[in-house]
Amino acid sequence: AQSVSQHNHHVILSEAASLELGCNYSYGGTVNLFWYVQYPGQHLQLLLKYFSGDPLVKGIKGFEAEFIKSKFSFNLRKPSVQWSDTAEYFCAAWGYQKVTFGTGTKLQVIP
């Protein structure tokens, strides 16, 4: 069975700090990977996706993620966070018609 692990449950950063959120997956076949963001009181929105090709994926709002197959990782990065990035971030893996989500990382950005 596929699984997704997010090791950071709660991250607090000051504005302009750099961000890296960890995501590791366990899956036996070809895997498609995603990062979603959920702002308070809202539904999940897709930040970026990886299907194949260039392992460095750029998404919306200045986010990017790097797929490292040897480490089974798909970490999310942003060079300089803003207060408006305060949200919960979910890593997810898609395979066999289903998507498996990590437990999420809450990011709090302090002005």
Partner 1 sequence: DAGITQSPRHKVTETGTPVTLRCHQTENHRYMYWYRQDPGHGLRLIHYSYGVKDTDKGEVSDGYSVSRSKTEDFLLTLESATSSQTSVYFCAISESGPQHFGDGTRLSIL
The site for partner 1 (CB under 8 A) is made up of 32, 34, 42-46, 49, 51, 90, 94, 97-104
- The number of residues in the chain equals 111
Closest to partner 1 by CB, 85 vs 104, is: 104
Give least dist CB 28 to partner 1, A: 17
Give least dist CB 102 to partner 1, A: 6
User: Can you tell me the distance from the alpha carbon of 28 to that of 55, in angstroms, rounded to the nearest whole number?
Assistant: 18
Give least dist CB 110 to partner 1, A: 22
Pseudo-torsion of CA 69, 73, 79, 84, nearest 10°?
140
